[in-house]
Structure 1
Amino acid sequence: MKNVVLILFLLLFFSCQDNKEIESENFQPTINWNLNDVDAININENELKSSLEKIIYLDDLRSIGIIYNNQLIFEHYNIGDTTSKFPVYSITKSVLSAIFGQLIDQNIIEDEYDKIDKYLDLIRIKDPEIKTQIKIDNLLTMNSGIQDDTNYIIRNDPISYILDKDLLYQPGLGWNYSSAGTHVLSAVFSEITNQNAEDYAKEYLFGPLGITDFYWQADLNGLSNGGWGLSLRLRDMLKFGNLYVNKGKWDDSQLISRRWIEKSTSKISTFRSGSGAWSYLPDNESGYGYLWWVNSIANKNVFSALGYGGQYIILDDARKLVIAIASRESSTRNYRQRISNLVFNELITIFPKIDT
């Protein structure tokens, strides 16, 4: 009862904005959406209240939600409400990774090691002898060598525009973040399935998760943008994260294989964070899996889907913890550093690990 009072107190304390009343969603029993029906969660109430208070008063925060052990324990909106869709930018990449895993699970492709010229015509591309060496897993791990030129989205032939540029290095011999590379991945996906990533996700991923209200931007040829372009509700961000925390299982269905979840969120590439474009990540040895970021917190891996401007789905499967955050696209670097420090170094550690 004491912990129920804590949740009610937190809700009352932080509900200073004019939003629609938060309603319970009962259509998916995998997550208990009823904020007033929370079992004992064995946390330090003062620490949780203090940490959340620091976060929700940050100027650039739009919304934050927390699921712990399959229960929604906190949800707050500075902008919008439970019906609002927020642009999640590069979190789109992690969704693309998920549906690629489903293709392998469904035996549509054998594995992620096919070369892309099996599906794309590279004959007229500059330096085809090098670019035909790019494999699907190179695109998933950001080590294809493809430059990060986001102007592809306004080009009439985006894939040719991307692949006509010189590679930064031989495929597999470096690492660079590239939204252009993941748009090529979207093109490969569409060639394999004969449908857009959006349509496939609607049927095999979002549909089973009960995600019905979303938007996915397309390029000028109608191809789902592989680099960014998704807009999701906060609760749908939480659903996607909770699917990964539960190793791909949703209710009684294994939507994504455990093997793919674990491989996607392992450190396939490693580098030091704390500098460059992603300097607001924890300052330690970071890693990158199959379009997921991986960081070490208290000697345990915490993995994240991240998007421009401070969009986060942060997962700690040892705690069965999902934290989703939507921020203003115009958020400052100071904001992103501040919220990352609060979440990675403070908020996560408040929650006890779950015995499994």
Structure 2
Amino acid sequence: MRLLLLLTFSVLPLLGASPVYAVAPSPSALSALDRETAALERVHSVVVAHAGEIIHEHHQGGPGVASPANIKSLSKTVLAAITGAAIEAGVIESVQQRLVTLLGDQVPNGTDPRVGEITVAHLLALQAGLERTSGSNYGAWVASANWVNDAITRPFVDEPGGRMLYSTGTSHLLSAALTHASGETTHALAQRLLGDPLDITIRPWLRDPQGIYFGGNDMQLSPRALIEVGELYRNDGVVFDEAGNGERVLPEGWVEESWQARGTSQWTGDGYGYGWFITQLAGEDVYYGRGYGGQALFVIPEREMTVVITSDPNPPSPGGQFQQRLNKLVEGLLAENGE
């Protein structure tokens, strides 16, 4: 697997001074990470990268660090990257393009006129305004005969661009929009526009009854592959080969836009951008994606760090407090690194 090799750094204000690189976590900090991880039996793997290099891997169950794992709703973060890559490739125009334009004749008759106001940006930020398909509504939604029609015809509980309403149905509408606009499956787009440049394999995953790849759930990526996705964002949407040559995968400015809070999680209070939650750990700005059961991808730009955690994705859910315990694992690395 090709790692992203660009080393970001801050330059000392003194003319002629050598660049200063963020210090990598110490061996003692990584040993402490392993001990704390061992207490979380649900966790399968933890992978830590610093300045473009994987510096630590810990595996204690489930698929290995190089094996595909079900990343559950962390798929929303990957879907956001696919969308950015589709914009860079000209598959869709911009985040301001409207859902109905992309779906075309796939929009059901009799939908609420406000559906015409929903943009790609609203879908990325989970601000469509439609009733959620997650939570207590999830089972009925995935049991429906047409997931797209079910999601798009739900009643509005807010205006497009209003509150963040965590809903996998909203992400699935984005997958459908990508499919109908491109004439390719979401999986084909994912591998061509994201997997190939990052030199990772994205396996096919679950489809709905109409053949649309599940938007926002059940993607299969290895922890090492997720490191590459995180590094792509850490390097501002550019991937570098071993010779240091860069290829822009995401549009210029995409990462900054993605990491701008457009809504707030009602469960954690963290901000939410385009597929990424936004928080602070140990005084550092941290951007993360998360999935059911303990799947997580963290990017900490100022520390030049990317961290991936995968866990048992099967019910029962350990609940939101488990995510806080994963946050503590990363916080421990950052706190030690800052001493």
* Native 8 Å contact 2:51 2:304 kept in 1: yes
Q: Is 1:210 matched with 2:204?
A: no
Shift of 1:78: 1.1
2:4 to 5, 30, 37: 30
Report the equivalent of 1:76: 58
Report the equivalent of 2:113: 129
* Native 8 Å contact 2:86 2:193 kept in 1: no
Deviates more, 1:100-109 or 1:202-211: 100-109
Shift of 1:166: 0.6
Partner amino acid, structure 1, of 2:250 = I
Matches of 2:124 and 2:109, distance apart in 1: 21
2:35 to 53, 65, 68: 53
Shift of 1:42: 5.4
TM-score, normalisation: structure 2: 0.83
Matches of 1:143 and 1:160, distance apart in 2: 18
Shift of 1:59: 0.9
Q: Is 1:255 matched with 2:249?
A: yes
Shift of 1:68: 0.8
Shift of 1:253: 1.2
* Native 8 Å contact 1:154 1:219 kept in 2: no
* Native 8 Å contact 1:31 1:72 kept in 2: no
Deviates more, 1:344-353 or 1:195-204: 344-353
- Return 5+ residue gaps in structure 1 as ranges: 1-26, 33-38, 280-284
Deviations 1:60-93 (A, max 9, x none): 1111100011111111111232442210011111
Report the equivalent of 1:99: 82
1:203-282 counterparts in 2 under 5 A?
203-212=192-201, 214-251=203-240, 252-270=246-264, 276=267, 279=268
Deviates more, 1:161-170 or 1:42-51: 42-51
* Native 8 Å contact 1:90 1:306 kept in 2: yes
Report the equivalent of 2:9: none
2:322 to 323, 333, 336: 336
2:172 to 183, 189, 196: 183
Matches of 2:78 and 2:202, distance apart in 1: 15
Deviates more, 1:305-314 or 1:81-90: 81-90
Shift of 1:315: 0.6
* Native 8 Å contact 1:58 1:335 kept in 2: no
Partner amino acid, structure 2, of 1:117 = V
For 2:221, what is the secondary structure of its paired residue?
strand
Q: Relative to 1, partners in 2 of residues 1:76 and 1:131: Cα closer, same or farther, differing over 3 Å?
A: same
Partner amino acid, structure 2, of 1:232 = L
For 1:216, what is the secondary structure of its paired residue?
coil
Report the equivalent of 2:187: 198
Q: Is 1:304 matched with 2:288?
A: yes
Aligned residues: 311
Matches of 1:84 and 1:241, distance apart in 2: 17
TM-score, normalisation: structure 1: 0.80
Q: Relative to 1, partners in 2 of residues 1:223 and 1:213: Cα closer, same or farther, differing over 3 Å?
A: closer
Shift of 1:212: 2.1
Over the aligned positions, Cα root-mean-square deviation in angstroms equals 2.6
Deviations 1:190-213 (A, max 9, x none): 121111111011111111212125
Using CA pairs below 8 Å that are at least 6 residues apart, which structure has the higher relative contact order?
2
Matches of 1:257 and 1:71, distance apart in 2: 24
For 2:159, what is the secondary structure of its paired residue?
coil
Matches of 1:45 and 1:212, distance apart in 2: 31
Matches of 1:177 and 1:56, distance apart in 2: 31
Shift of 1:175: 2.0
Matches of 2:74 and 2:22, distance apart in 1: 32
Q: Relative to 1, partners in 2 of residues 1:134 and 1:335: Cα closer, same or farther, differing over 3 Å?
A: closer
Deviations 1:28-81 (A, max 9, x none): 15369xxxxxx9955444343223311133111111100011111111111232
Q: Is 1:88 matched with 2:77?
A: no
Runs of 4+, deviation exceeding 6 Å: none
- Return 5+ residue gaps in structure 2 as ranges: 7-20, 241-245
* Native 8 Å contact 1:60 1:335 kept in 2: no
Report the equivalent of 1:348: 334
Question: Percent identity at matched positions?
Answer: 23
Deviations 1:304-348 (A, max 9, x none): 111111100111011111110111123523871453342243223
